Structure 1
Amino acid sequence: MTFLPFSGSRAVAAGLVTWRMLRGPSWRRLLPDIYVHVDGHREEDHRMWCDAVALTLPPGAAISGLSAAFLWGADLLPRASPVFVTLPGRARRRTTPRVVVDQRSLSAREITRIAGLPVTTGVRTAFDLGRQLPRTDALVAVDALLHRRVARLPALSSYLDTHKGWPGTARLREVLVLAEPLSESPMETRLRLLLHDAGLPPLTAQHDVHGAHAQRGRVLLGRVDLAYPRWRIAIEYEGDHHRERVHFQRDVARLNALRAAGWLVLRFTADDVLRHPAQTVRLVTDAIDERRPSRR
């Protein structure tokens, strides 16, 4: 059974519950007049909070920002995040620990529905996050939405052109130059941006490496996160999922095949990218210097 948030006053008016029942142990108050059954209450379930907040939104409002990205399938939210909403200028609502309000009118074309909830469109969500977040986070968000194909680069560029002068559009313009729809994870984007900002050559994302097989001819040896194909350098981000037994075994076989084909494989973790960026850049730089023909 699914337990969704509901309006207490409407439920009482319909004779489904009483106010005394709502004050009992079977129900949890989420927001003023918004309740959920105790079995459906998950304090850190952002979808539950989106369902609750949506019940309080006036016409013309929508879930937006990082919450909209979450509903589009790009979970970039910090732990216990509030719900982000955009309200039309005529509406009045203060930001609270549970709800962050952006006071700006949306056109009907900028709002869609996901499972019944009013949400900013993929293009509008990418437009907002790409100009409102810090540079790295903005690129992570835009990459994630592009990868899920809820926004496309041409449409996003066109939208930006029709909204010149809005706050943060200069940042978004820079982000679009750096954006990579093939990027498969936030940390992969962060690693690519780290190397870009260090002045290293442009990388190829999600590069397929092929090799020769005596019986089968040209075969796929594996796909690498980032690559310098001309120097046969592969750069991989290692997330927690790589530690799973089956995935680990596949990785070992793939890496052995890449090395046998003459590829140098560099593997980095979140700790390398976030806490030891200079060392990470140095390792990649050394690999390029090792593989690049001498200029002398």
Structure 2
Amino acid sequence: MPRVARIPRELRLRPFSGSNAVAAGLLTKRSLTGPAWRRLFADVYVQAAAFDDGDHRMWCEAAAVKMPAGGAVSGLSAAYLWGVDLLPRRSPVHVTLPRSARPSPHPRLAVAHRSLGREDVTRLFGGIPLTTEVRTAFDLARSLPRADALAAVDALLHSRVLRREALARYVDFHAGLPGVRRVRELLPLVEALSESPMESRLRLLLHDAGLPRPTSQYEIRLPASDLTPDARTGAAATDARRRGRLLARVDLAYPQWRIAIEYEGDHHRERATFRRDVGRLNALRAAGWLVLRFTADDVLRQKDQLIRTVRQAIAERS
């Protein structure tokens, strides 16, 4: 029977430097070429049993193993570590390195050469150096395409990792950095209540078309006078009389015209969700609301028609 490779406790589960492991006497150069280990980057390995090609955190940990001083995981990868996943499948690890650092090219590594201040980098998540939440938002806002940038900053705000005021202060104190003007232009458009990237894109479409800014995540309530007598008694009577019964919370709304705008993702096609949507839609119509529902195809490929639909609805209800 073939011998089972001995796995040193220090090298289990997390990526490590092969040369450091050899120097410490934990492995030999020859053993690193065996089936017990997977090579991730130059001189960076992980236990084969712990390898997961789709685990972005593992790839971030691997990039951190040989991270030079002044470097950090950044951009979309830093956002991921902060709890905001906007990464495409098999995304490379995004890192920011000093201009003097020239790592070997690798398809799972995307390098930006910039200077990071000491205050721009923190160490969380097992010691991985990554850009702070505010620097992460700043870099995404100035480097991504505009709609993607808005979606990224919205998501960081919504997750409560970031506060808008903190990003505004960072912009004020770093006015000389490239791209700061672009971030300033984006700041008035961000929305902490936005719950999905497509919702952010939809809101941006309305803004760019010159339409009024809608209210995000608006609660539509049945007036207390419309409640049944039974609904106005009992434990929830005070709140029901004060606020009315909640009918729905919609993605975007123009309350003054009773227009609700909804983004419909693929999950709305599921049978149970579809049934709930029908009942919800009927209740909103009965309450006098017009509900406009849009899909990804509308937002991404039928933009002009989407804007015409919203503009016509406003005109009819004004």
* TM-score (norm. length: structure 1): 0.91
For 1:281 and 1:178, how far apart are their aligned partners in 2?
18
CA contact (8 A) 2:41 2:106 kept: no
CA contact (8 A) 2:42 2:104 kept: no
SS, match of residue 19 in structure 1: coil
The match for 2:247 among 199, 204, 221 is: 221
The match for 2:157 among 123, 140, 146 is: 146
Structure 2 residue 271 is matched with structure 1 residue 241 = no
Structure 2 residue 232 is matched with structure 1 residue 232 = no
- Structure 1 runs not aligned, ≥5 long: none
For 1:91 and 1:233, how far apart are their aligned partners in 2?
54
Give the aligned residue type for 1:194: L
Q: Percent identity?
A: 64
5 Å matches for 1:133-212?
133-212=144-223
- Structure 1 or 2, whichever has the larger Rg, is 2
Structure 2 residue 312 is matched with structure 1 residue 286 = yes
Of the structure 1 ranges 32-41 and 122-131, higher mean CA displacement relative to structure 2 is found in: 32-41
CA contact (8 A) 2:98 2:114 kept: yes
For 1:29 and 1:227, how far apart are their aligned partners in 2?
51
Structure 2 residue 87 is matched with structure 1 residue 61 = no
Instruction: Provide the aligned C-alpha RMSD in A.
Output: 2.0
For 1:222 and 1:20, how far apart are their aligned partners in 2?
63
SS, match of residue 52 in structure 2: coil
* TM-score (norm. length: structure 2): 0.85
Of the structure 1 ranges 73-82 and 175-184, higher mean CA displacement relative to structure 2 is found in: 73-82
SS, match of residue 88 in structure 2: coil
CA contact (8 A) 1:94 1:101 kept: no
**Partner deviation per Cα, 1:34-73 (whole Å, 9 max, x = no partner):** 1122332222322221111011102332111111111112
CA contact (8 A) 1:208 1:224 kept: yes
Moved over 6 A (4+): none
Structure 2 residue 37 is matched with structure 1 residue 11 = no
SS, match of residue 30 in structure 2: helix
Of the structure 1 ranges 117-126 and 34-43, higher mean CA displacement relative to structure 2 is found in: 34-43
Shift of residue 92, structure 1, vs aligned partner = 4.1
For 1:210 and 1:182, how far apart are their aligned partners in 2?
18
Give the aligned residue type for 2:61: D
Of the structure 1 ranges 167-176 and 237-246, higher mean CA displacement relative to structure 2 is found in: 237-246
Structure 2 residue 142 is matched with structure 1 residue 131 = yes
